[in-house]
Amino acid sequence: MSSTTPDATPKVVLTPVERYLAMYNQFSAILWSFILMSTTVLAVRNGQPDVFDTTNFALTVIQSFAVMEIINAIMGFVRTPIFTTVSQVASRLLIVYGIFRMLPNSPAGHHWSYLTLTFAWSVTEIVRYSYYAQNLITKGNPARFLTLLRYNLFFVLYPLGVFSELCIIYLSLDEAKAAIGAEYYYILIGSMALYAPGFYTLFGHMLKQRKKTMKALYAKEAGEKKQN
C-alpha cells in the first residue's frame, strides 16, 4: 500500500535583480531605523540643538543613497515613474546639501522642524523599504499590516514631511542671502514654489497606488473567506 506525502512549500526563487532590490531595500530600512532611533533618543534626552548636531551628517549620508532610486527607475528595475522619483529625491537632497551642508549656520537645523522632518522621513522610509523588500521576497504577498501602513500612513507623513521641508528652506532664506548671495536666495524661493506641483504629483501617484492595492487586498481576503 503506497503512501503519499504533501508537497513541500515551493521555494521562492528570486532573479539576480530581485535579490539586489531585496537586499537594497532591507539595508535601507535598517539605516533609516538608525536615524529614527537616534533622533528619538536624543530628542528625549537632550533636545535641540544636540539632535541636529549629532544626526545631520548621518542623515545626509543615508539620504544620499536615495540616488540609487533614480538609477533603479532608469534601468527599469522598478516600475516607479522616473519623474516622481526624481522629484522626491531632489527635494530631499536640496535639504541635506543645499541647506544643512551649504548653510551650516542656518537656524533651520536647530528648529523643531528638523525633528518633524527626520520623523516623517524615517518612518516613511522604514515602512516603504520594508514593504518593498517583503513584497519581493514573498513574490507579491507582503504582510497585511505592512500593506496597510504603506498605503495609509502617507496621508499624514507626506504632508508633514513637505511642511517640514518648506519650514527649513524658509528659515534658511536670510542665511542664504548673507552667506552665498541673492542668487541663492531666489533659487531657494523658486524651489519652494515647485513644491506645490511636486506634492500634487507624488500624492496623486500614491492615491492611485492605494486604490489599486487596497482593491486587490480586499478581493484576496474575500476570496480566502469564501474558501474557508
In a domain, 95, yes or no: yes
Residue 73 falls inside a structural domain: yes
The number of folded domains in the chain is 1
Q: What's the pLDDT tens digit per position in 157-198?
A: 999 999 999 999 999 999 999 999 999 999 999 999 999 988
Q: Look at residue 227 and tell me if it is in a domain.
A: no
Catalytic position from the list 69, 125, 165, 175: 165
Percent of the chain, pLDDT > 90?
Answer: 79
108 domain residue, yes or no: yes
The model's pLDDT over 94-142, given as tens digits with 9 standing for 90+, comes to 999 999 999 999 999 999 999 999 999 999 999 999 999 999 999 989 9
Do 101 and 180 contact (CB within 8 A), yes or no? no
CA–CA distance, 16 with 150 (Å, rounded to integer): 25
User: d(Cα 135, Cα 124) in Å, to the nearest integer?
Assistant: 16
Alpha carbons 168 and 140: distance in angstroms, whole number: 38
Confidence of residue 9 (pLDDT cuts 50, 70, 90): low
How far is 151 from 131, CA to CA, in rounded Å?
10
CA dist list (Å): 75 to 19, 71, 72, 122: 15, 6, 5, 26
Place of cell 532573479: 15
In this model, does residue 1 exceed pLDDT 50? no
Please state the φ and ψ torsions of residue 12, each to the nearest 5 degrees. -75, 125
pTM (two decimals): 0.90
Q: Does residue 158 carry a catalytic annotation?
A: yes
83 located within any domain: yes
* Assigned domain for 34 exists: yes
Q: Do residues 117 and 95 lie in contact, with contact meaning Cβ atoms separated by under 8 Å?
A: yes
The residue from 18, 20, 158, 170 that is catalytic is 158
Q: What single letter denotes the amino acid at residue 22?
A: A
Domain with 68, as residue range(s), is 16-220
6 inside domain:
no
**Is 214 part of any domain?**
yes
* Most distant pair of Cα atoms in the chain: their distance: 90
Report the distance separating Cα 57 and Cα 54, nearest Å. Answer: 7
C-alpha cell at position 193: 514654489
Distinct helix (H) and strand (E) counts, the chain: 9, 0
